Structure 1
Amino acid sequence: MIDKANLLSKFEQINEYWTPKIIAELNDQYVKLAKLKGEFIWHDHENEDELFYIVKGQLHLKFKDRDDILLSEGEVYVVPAGVEHLPIAEPECWVLLVEPKSTAHTGSIQSERTVQVEDQNWI
């Protein structure tokens, strides 16, 4: 557990896209940082909400059952549990995520993009 962290310096330690890194935990939740670029995969989290806070850049969230959302620096959005979404970041986007510890990176979808929680090392 950390006492305090500088988010910008933590982001500088991240060298991979779409690979969240845990920076804190609270109330059975992880706080994660990730650098995003390009298109991810369609997925949902059946039982967990997922909070996106945009630190740098923009994130386009596409949905199958509602209007798309474009998030810019300083904006936050919670994708409700069970809502299928496709994150797209062009150009690079830095995002802070807050989600239950049980949240699987790509929900029930397993692909080459899936990162297991044990591989989302603390930074």
Structure 2
Amino acid sequence: MLLFLTAALILQLILFHLDEYYFHRKRGLSRPEIVSALMDGFFYLLPLAIAIFCSFTIFWQWIYIFLAILSCLSVVKNEWFYPVVMDRNEKLVHAGLYLLHPILLYTFYLSWDQDFFNNSM
């Protein structure tokens, strides 16, 4: 599990870096895109923080699931903000990020369920 989680996080970091520091600087960002990206980051970090810092209980499990769904919906809403004309490579990077998002949330969930963060940190 640790190897998969690490590899997926590294891949997400690489794709995110390409998106933020190459494509976004090349085409520029609108104000709604900037606000949307900040919201996405906030909604993504909430369930991850729960998995890392909270005990696995029914209460936190349901909060995690709710926040993970909210995070996935938050990322999908970005399609309304993206310009119609976007580089094919940027679209490919976004597709990779969209695929990794729920996979990483689920991997964090499984790791949390197996008490990985309390035993390994």
Same fold, judged at TM 0.5 (above): no
Which structure has the greater CA radius of gyration? 2
Q: Which has the higher strand share?
A: 1
TM-score calculated relative to the size of structure 1: 0.28
More helix by share: 2
Higher relative contact order (CA 8 A, sep 6+): 2
